[in-house]
Amino acid sequence: MEMAFCFEQNSSWARLLTAIHGHCWDDSLPCWTNASGTWSSIVQTINNLHIQHSMDTSLLRLHIGNGQQANFWFDPWFNGAPMATRFPRLLALETNKNGVVADHFHHDSWVHSWRRNPRSGVEVDNLNSLQDILHNVTFTSDNDYWTWDGGSFSVSQARHIIDEQHLATFSRPTSWCRQVPIKINIFIWRLKLLRLETKANILNRGMALEDDCCNLCNLHVENETHLFLHCDTSKEIWLAISQWINLTLPNWSSFNDLWAWIDGVPIIRNQRLIVTTIVFSSLWSIWRLRNNINFKDKSFRKCHVVDNIKVNGFNWLFSRFHKKRCNWNQWLQSPLYSL
Ligand SMILES: [Zn+2]
């Protein structure tokens, strides 16, 4: 049940944010769902995380002092879960749903305003369990107070929790290749995270597309692995590259295979530098070909791709090694021996 986090009802998160930033309980935050502004964005974002079960409600605890601030049914004031979640059948019988905890305690005993008395079965079991919980509640003269994950709230901890849930992780550290331009490094970084704007990724983000088909072959769903590694067009390109550099390229089943191959192929250091550059140039050229076909730009065609890979590789590599004599013919004939 998400009612505890419904911000139209002066919710727990709104109260937490109020408490964190030192306002009194009655201060209102611009956190109505139809409001605009920073607070509204923060509150709605966290609310969405909760609804998506991306953030555990037990992180947020409300501790009872005098019981004058905590909503009896909707605030998580006992073991991190609202009574409304624990006992929905009793909530349905409650006539004072918005009362605070202290409203339910008069003359040293707990009182409720049931629409009718709980009947046998689940309702009575719920009532017995509720009474067991309430039996252990003690009040103090202090205000009720919030804690975050057992301690004080910190933005960095909240961000860490959110990042863990939402950001892609990549087991291998991203290393910048100094021999290729920044835009290529960024392209490769996004490719490693599988975050390029392929049709599969665009559809996953809920955007409308006419189809999800790879425009290089018109046969398969266009995702990164298919487009760059498995598509017949890409395989033709890799075969041509393999023949050019005189090195057998495996049929990589995934990008992890590809990155592992670059790191592990038995060649000397300078040759690994060259192979990395050529692989990056190949991936970039396949992406360019894909974009030009998708956007009906005929300036860059399939027949240009391999030549483009050679030109880019040469320019990237040798423009950053000024002291090396660069020889275009050497590059064309045996690129792995160019440095
Ligand atoms: Zn394809």
Q: How far is CA 151 from CA 46, 119, 145, 157, 162, in A?
A: 19, 41, 11, 11, 18
- Percent residues over pLDDT 70 in the chain: 73
What distance in angstroms lies between residue 188's CA and the mean position of ligand 1's atoms?
A: 19
What distance in angstroms lies between residue 192's CA and the mean position of ligand 1's atoms?
A: 19
16-60 residue pLDDT tens = 555 554 443 333 333 444 555 665 566 566 656 665 555 666 666
**Structure-model confidence comparison of residues 298 and 280, the more confident one:** 280
What distance in angstroms lies between residue 250's CA and the mean position of ligand 1's atoms?
A: 18
pLDDT at 96: 86
What distance in angstroms lies between residue 223's CA and the mean position of ligand 1's atoms?
A: 9
- The pTM of the full predicted model, rounded to 2 decimals, is 0.54
Six token digits for residue 224 = 């990164």
What distance in angstroms lies between residue 198's CA and the mean position of ligand 1's atoms?
A: 12
What distance in angstroms lies between residue 213's CA and the mean position of ligand 1's atoms?
A: 8
What distance in angstroms lies between residue 289's CA and the mean position of ligand 1's atoms?
A: 12
What distance in angstroms lies between residue 216's CA and the mean position of ligand 1's atoms?
A: 5
What distance in angstroms lies between residue 110's CA and the mean position of ligand 1's atoms?
A: 68
pLDDT at 222: 95
CB 233 within 8 A of CB 219: no
Q: In the structure, what pLDDT confidence band is assigned to residue 175 with cuts at 50, 70 and 90? A: confident
Report which DSSP code applies to 50: H
What distance in angstroms lies between residue 205's CA and the mean position of ligand 1's atoms?
A: 21
Candidates 46, 39, 36; CA nearest to 6 is: 46
What distance in angstroms lies between residue 288's CA and the mean position of ligand 1's atoms?
A: 14
Q: What are residue 109's DSSP bridge partners?
A: 106
CB atoms within 10 A of CB 262: 14
- CB-based burial label for 198 (10 Å; 0-12, 13-18, 19+): buried
What distance in angstroms lies between residue 209's CA and the mean position of ligand 1's atoms?
A: 17
Distance CA 259, CA 240 (A): 20
What distance in angstroms lies between residue 214's CA and the mean position of ligand 1's atoms?
A: 5
What distance in angstroms lies between residue 228's CA and the mean position of ligand 1's atoms?
A: 8
What distance in angstroms lies between residue 224's CA and the mean position of ligand 1's atoms?
A: 10
What distance in angstroms lies between residue 211's CA and the mean position of ligand 1's atoms?
A: 13
pLDDT at 326: 72
CB atoms within 10 A of CB 332: 13
What distance in angstroms lies between residue 219's CA and the mean position of ligand 1's atoms?
A: 6
What distance in angstroms lies between residue 27's CA and the mean position of ligand 1's atoms?
A: 58
CB 76 within 8 A of CB 57: yes
Candidates 134, 86, 290; CA nearest to 200 is: 290
Tell me if residue 71 falls in helix, strand or coil.
strand
178-202 residue pLDDT tens = 889 999 999 999 999 888 999 999 8
Q: What are residue 147's DSSP bridge partners?
A: 61
End-to-end CA gap in the chain = 65
Is the dihedral angle over the CA atoms 317, 320, 324, 329 positive or is it negative?
Answer: positive
What distance in angstroms lies between residue 294's CA and the mean position of ligand 1's atoms?
A: 12
pLDDT at 3: 33
Distance CA 16, CA 36 (A): 19
What distance in angstroms lies between residue 123's CA and the mean position of ligand 1's atoms?
A: 59
Tell me if residue 309 falls in helix, strand or coil.
helix
Six token digits for residue 136 = 């252990």
What distance in angstroms lies between residue 262's CA and the mean position of ligand 1's atoms?
A: 23
Candidates 270, 214, 261, 222; CA nearest to 242 is: 261
230-260 residue pLDDT tens = 999 999 999 999 999 999 999 999 999 999 9
Report which DSSP code applies to 149: T
What distance in angstroms lies between residue 218's CA and the mean position of ligand 1's atoms?
A: 6
What distance in angstroms lies between residue 253's CA and the mean position of ligand 1's atoms?
A: 15
Q: In the structure, what pLDDT confidence band is assigned to residue 296 with cuts at 50, 70 and 90? A: confident
R_g (Cα) of the chain, nearest Å:
31
Average pLDDT, the chain: 80
Whether 8 has a pLDDT exceeding 90, the answer reads no
